[in-house]
Structure formats: structure tokens, C-alpha cells
Amino acid sequence: MVNPDSFLKLDMKKSLFILLVIFIGSFGLCQGSFTPPILEGKPNKIVKTLQGITFNSDYDNGSLKDVVDLGPDEYRCDLYTEQGEIGPRQFWFRFKMSGVSGRNIKLHINHRHNPFPVISLDGVNWRRLHEREAPSLSEIILNFFPWENHAELALFFPLGVEETYSRVNHLVRRCDDATSRILGKSFCGRDLWMITVEDASSANTQKFRIWLQSRVHAGEVPSTHAMLGFLDLITSDTREALLLRRHCVFNIVPLVNVDGVYMGLSRWDSRGIDPEHIWGNPERTSETLLIKYQIDEFMASDNPIRVSLNLHSTVSNNKDTFFFKHVAPSVTEEFELIQQGYIDALDNATPLFDNLCPHSSQLHPFNYLESYFWSNWGKEVMAITHEGHFYRRLPDGKWITDEDYRKLGSAMAVALIEYFKLYYKNP
Ligand SMILES: [Zn+2]
């Protein structure tokens, strides 16, 4: 696993306090009625050879429950169904095949949430399958040249834990204004990273603090591509980036559900808990508690959080990505306008977003991160969730890609210039 080594700055006293709170919290959780379903084994991490082809999902972010021989060059690939306290979920898959040289193979696999999954022949470059390769939502047909012996399939352009942290590390290291630190450990002991980006040479007062997190739900990888695009923009040397770094402090958690991502899950965490809606009891997962502790510290500082972007992705077919705008009476009408201000700013910042699928919601009083901000700090924090999808993009109707999400993420950063009217401030 990649480490942020020299950037690590953990305060020992704070770490001990957090560990104590997590210990107390997990003690309470052990007394609950919900049975942890997954840690007993690795049901979606298999290595199986059939007809000379080895199917392997036993690695970071891999997931396949089983593969069954259906006759010459024909296989049934079963997706893993994860159990959670809100119910079962099943959509993520990612696995490698070796021994495919010169073969024409047919896979029966459920990819109904994405008509055209992705393939890589080198483990680095990915592309969507063509229509002849994915003729239906339950079939994939692949013809390999003799020199192609390895292939990897996934539901959508995948990013495992190490792949994500490696890309984040690359962006942090290229920018003198960026640092990373480990907030603490996940339930399974993985590092929970937070990146900070700001121009430390400019005066520290009157800065807008931005909180951004991705991948609360493990299979929602578009959110991590958007996060990378956001980080790419704010760590660049562009005029926009310099302006943003001068007036803002950015805090980014690249992977909230870091265990679920490693395990190749679709949605829940390693114990079947939904980390998205436990903000009424944040001690239920160490990840949520660590984030809450950090947010509390920022909110008590001279530069409290002013914008919180919670990046997700949905499996439903939408013609545009969208925000869940919270509406009255759960929030004030004034706060509706504040949220709309950011939504409009993103619309102005990119042709990839036109707010064609506006969603609204009555904000639950305490379940969500946005609830936590609203109930404690009201309109002072514009906290909102963004949802990507696996379907077609704006403005040309082509199938959306990882690169599109990175561009969208960059635009989310640029939109802050309009939202905060930074053009009107002195440089
Ligand atoms: Zn989600």
C-alpha cells in the first residue's frame, strides 16, 4: 500500500483520543443485532481455472463470486451479492482472465446497470466494450488475438485502493501547496487519507474551507474519478488553481469506504453498514467517526468549512449527473438558493453538466453528513451530494468515461470561483 510517508503528521494525543472513542463505539456495535456478514471469508475473491483460462478476482477491488463451465469457450460468471443492514446489493464486478490468447469466449454475466462495461489488456488502459462485445445486458463476447493472453473486465473504469492512493500521491507530490496525512485506520486497518491544499504563504484569515469526499459507497467509482479531477485542477499551475489556492483551503478524503473498495463491494462497508446514513451515530464506523472528529476541528477553527461536496454515483439511467438539493421545509428557502448558486456555477463551468435531472430531497434531521452540517451550522455550510452514473454524457450523448468524470471534477473546483465571487477579490 502506498504511504504518504514524509507528509504524515499525526498528533499522538489526538490519535489516542480517537482510538479510545472508536474502541468504545465498536464495543456498542458488537452488542447490536446485525451480524457482520463478510469478514469471515472472502467470498468474492476467487482464482479458478476452466478450459485453460484462469479467472482471478483475488486482488485489490476485485470481485467475482464464481465462474461456471458451460461448454467450449462459454462461461457463466456470477456476481457477488453483498448483504447489508439495509438489504442486499449486487452490481460491482472486476476480474482478470489469463490464457485467453486466440480464444473467442462468451461470458454470461449480469451487467444490467451498465450496458457497456470496460476492458483492459494491460491493466492500465481501459475502454468501454463495443456493441458486438456486449450484445445484451447479460452477455459479453470477446475475441482475442494470439498475442493477447491477458484481459481484465470491470463494470466501470475501476480504481482500487492502491490505484487511487497512487494517483492522489502523484498529484500531491507535484504541488508545493499540497500535503497528505492519515486521519486514522479503517475498521479493517487500512489508512484513511486526507489531502490538504492551500497557498500557505497567503494570509490565513478569511479563507473559504472546502470539504470534499468520495466513495462512501464502494462501487461508485465515478465519484473517485471526479475527486481526482478536482484534485488535479487545484494542484495545477493554472490561473484558476492559483486563485483558488490563495482564497481557499481544500480538505479531500479520497476514499471514505476504503475497506469496501478493497473488498470489491458494490455499496456497504466491510460489515454491511451503510456509512452514508449513520451520522446520527457516527461512532458506528471508525471511518465516519474520524471524519466527524476532523470536521468538528475545522468548524471550530478560524477557517471553518463553507462548502461540503459529497461525491456519489447512482446505478439508474440518467441523462445528466445531478445534485440532491435539499428543500424547504427541511431547510430554509434561503438555503435552497445558496445550493442553487453552486449548482448554477457548475452548469456555467462545464458543458458536461446542464442540471437536466434536478433532484430534491427533504433533508433528514440527522442521518447524513449534510444533516450534520445543517443541524449544527445551518446555512453557514453549503453541503450537498452529487451523483454520477454509468450512462451517456452531455453534451454529445456518447457513453460517459473516466476522463469525463475527471473533467467534471475539475469543473466542480472552477465553479467555486463563481460561487465565492473570487474574481472580485484582490489577488
Ligand atoms: Zn452512494
Considering the domain 47-154 in this protein, what is its CATH number?
A: 2.60.40.3120
Residue 332 pLDDT: 98
Q: In the chain, which stretches have pLDDT less than 50? A: 1-36, 38
Cell numbers 494570509: residue: 203
Distance 335 CA to ligand 1 centre (A): 23
pTM: 0.91
**pLDDT at position 202:** 81
Superfamily of domain 5-30+160-424: Zn peptidases (3.40.630.10)
Pairing of strands 104-108, 139-143: antiparallel
How much distance in Å is there from the Cα of 407 to the middle of ligand 1? Answer: 20
What distance in Å separates the CA atoms of residue 407 and residue 424, rounded to the nearest whole number?
Answer: 25
CA of 22 to the centre of ligand 1 (A): 24
* d(CA 415, ligand 1 centre) in Å: 22
How close is the Cα of 313 to the center of ligand 1, in Å?
Answer: 5
| pLDDT, tens digit, 9 for 90 and up, residues 177-203 | 999 999 999 999 999 999 999 998 887
What's the 190 CA to ligand 1 centre distance in angstroms?
A: 21
Number of other residues whose CB lies within 10 A of the CB of residue 330: 16
**Spacing, Cα 11 to ligand 1 middle (Å):** 31
**Cα(143) to centroid(ligand 1), Å:** 34
Report how far Cα 104 is from the mean position of its chain's Cα atoms: 34
- 3-state SS class at 128: strand
Distance (angstroms) between ligand 1 centre and the Cα of 268 equals: 9
93 CA → ligand 1 middle, Å: 17
How far does the centroid of ligand 1 lie from the alpha carbon of residue 311, in Å? 8
Distance 216 CA to ligand 1 centre (A): 6
Q: How far is the CA of 352 from the centre of ligand 1 (A)?
A: 20
- CA of 279 relative to ligand 1 center, distance in Å: 15
Q: Separation of 267 CA from ligand 1 center, angstroms?
A: 7
CA distances from 318 to 137, 203, 362, 387 (A): 17, 43, 21, 10
C-alpha of residue 418 to centroid of ligand 1, in Å: 27
Note the pLDDT of residue 392. Answer: 97
Distance 30 CA to ligand 1 centre (A): 25
Q: Measured in angstroms, how far is the CA atom of residue 276 from the centroid of ligand 1? A: 7
Measure 238 CA to ligand 1 centroid, in angstroms.
31
CB-CB contact of 214 with 223 (8 Å): yes
- The whole-number pLDDT of residue 21 equals 40
How many other C-beta atoms are found inside a 10 Å radius of the C-beta of residue 104?
11
How far, in Å, from the CA of 219 to the mean position of ligand 1? Answer: 8
- Could you tell me the CA-to-CA distances from 41 to 44, 207, 252, 414 in Å, in that order? 9, 47, 32, 44
Domain with CATH 3.40.630.10 in the chain: 5-30+160-424
Which residues belong to CATH 2.60.40.3120 in the chain? Answer: 47-154
What pLDDT score was predicted for residue 425? 65
